[in-house]
Amino acid sequence: MNEPLIEGCVDSYVSAAAAVKAGADRLELCGQLIIGGVTPSPVLFRQVHRDFGVKINVLIRPRFGDFLYSEEELDQMCEEIKLFRDLGANGAVVGVLTPDGRLDAERMAKLMACAGGMDVTLHRAFDMTAEPLAALEAACSLGCRTILTSGQANSAESGRELLKALRERAGGRLDIMAGAGVKSGNILALHQFTGIRVFHTSGRRGTIPSGMTYRRESVSMGLPTLSEYELWRTDEDEFGACARIVHSL
């Protein structure tokens, strides 16, 4: 545990290609990172799995919003885990909470049973728990391999105090993977402060302008605060800089 590893958080074939070329040890494949990520298309998984020789963990999140799920949503998540397991995924990335902000151990156990022998990462639902150390112990008891966390802050840099405490408390039972706002400019400092050597990043440097020359700016297809003419993509140079730092730790 806590061996140097960098995971690329990607939601497109183009971003997956950039992350792998730049040195990603593993991918977390998602859909729609612009809203925090949801379950990706099986077709996208097949394309990435076919073309890149890297482990792929798949985000299982049926919708945007909280992590309090109905029975129907939980059934959907189980079926999706089984689907991606059969397609060759290395792991599932999941998280379920109770209404009072605890990790829902019973429902997490159900998802993990569906995962079979896959690695399971507890995603940033962890950052929304009321008692993070209790959630850590629950994740360890369940058999999670990794917790992806920002230290219950908007960025890993802001949450570095808790990240350090979590790594120390975990004691090698699972990986504490720092994510959110992880960049080439702060990875080394985060490692030096927390001792963490497992990092998660999309490797973005900003948005990429659309190739559309005709634009109807007055019409929005989704959230009105988001432009239809800006694309989120992994920057190969930025991700490569992150990978070189992590692999040197």
pLDDT at 154 (0 to 100): 96
State the pLDDT at residue 76.
Answer: 98
Contact (Cβ atoms closer than 8 angstroms) between residue 160 and residue 194:
yes
Task: For residue 176, give the 3-state DSSP assignment.
Answer: strand
Q: Residue 216 has what pLDDT?
A: 77
Assigned token pair, 106: 């019973």
The tokens describing 94, both together, are 């999941």
- Which domains are present in the chain? 5-247 (3.20.20.380)
The model's pTM: 0.93
Least Cα distance to 45 among 14, 89, 1 occurs for 89
pLDDT tens digits, the chain, 249 residues: what are they?
899 999 999 999 999 999 999 999 999 999 999 889 999 999 999 999 999 999 999 999 999 999 999 999 999 999 999 999 999 999 999 999 999 999 999 999 999 999 999 999 999 999 999 999 999 999 999 999 999 999 999 999 999 999 999 999 999 999 999 999 999 999 999 999 999 999 999 999 877 788 888 887 777 776 666 777 778 899 999 999 999 999 999
The pLDDT, as a whole number, for residue 228 is: 78
Q: Are 178 and 196 in contact (CB under 8 A)?
A: yes
φ, ψ of residue 238 in degrees (nearest 5): -65, -45
pLDDT for residue 137: 98
Residue 231 forms beta bridges with which residues? 208
Buried b (16+ CB within 10 A) or exposed e, 159-172: bbebbbbbbeebee
**Residue 27: closest CA among 61, 3, 51:** 51
Q: How far is CA 100 from CA 41, 97, 131, 144, 227, in A?
A: 32, 8, 10, 21, 35
pLDDT at 159: 98
Measured distance CA(167)–CA(195) in Å, rounded = 7
Report how far residue 116's alpha carbon sits from residue 91's, in angstroms, rounded to the nearest whole number.
Answer: 10
